[in-house]
């Protein structure tokens, strides 16, 4: 089930900022490490210069995703460990 704007904004715009992981349909994960690198607008989630695939070399550029592709969002600790926030992924 897709996330709502409110669910995404609660984690993306948290003060103080905490890095977070966005989980997409198909299992892809996006880790957002800086507050000004992601924007939630209308029905889309936009990323600028973030690592889109943790298992690959860092990518840069702009990526715009419909919120319907987001299936989870969670805060990550300093070492990348997931912490309970937003929706958790199924395990």
Looking at the domain assignment, is residue 88 inside a domain? no
What's the token pair of residue 88?
A: 């958790």
Identify the CATH number of the domain in which residue 15 sits.
2.30.30.100
Cα-based distances in Å from 45 to 12, 59, 84? 10, 17, 21
Domain count, the chain: 1
The tens digit of pLDDT for each residue in 15-59 reads: 999 999 999 998 988 889 888 889 999 899 998 875 555 555 555
Looking at the domain assignment, is residue 15 inside a domain? yes
Looking at the domain assignment, is residue 70 inside a domain? yes
* Single pTM value for the model: 0.72
Task: Give per-residue burial for 66-78: e unless 16+ CB within 10 Å, then b.
Answer: ebebbbbbbbbee
Looking at the domain assignment, is residue 64 inside a domain? yes
Backbone torsions φ then ψ of 70, nearest 5 degrees: -85, 125
Looking at the domain assignment, is residue 13 inside a domain? yes
């Amino acid at each position: 089930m897709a996330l709502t704007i409110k669910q995404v904004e609660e984690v993306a715009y948290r003060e103080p900022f905490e890095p977070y992981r966005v989980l997409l349909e198909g299992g892809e994960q996006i880790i957002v490490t800086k507050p000004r690198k992601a924007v939630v607008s209308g029905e889309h989630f936009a990323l600028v210069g973030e690592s889109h695939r943790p298992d690959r070399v860092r990518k840069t550029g702009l990526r715009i995703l419909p919120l319907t592709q987001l299936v989870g969002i969670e805060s990550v600790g300093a070492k990348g460990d997931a912490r309970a926030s937003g929706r958790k992924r199924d395990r």
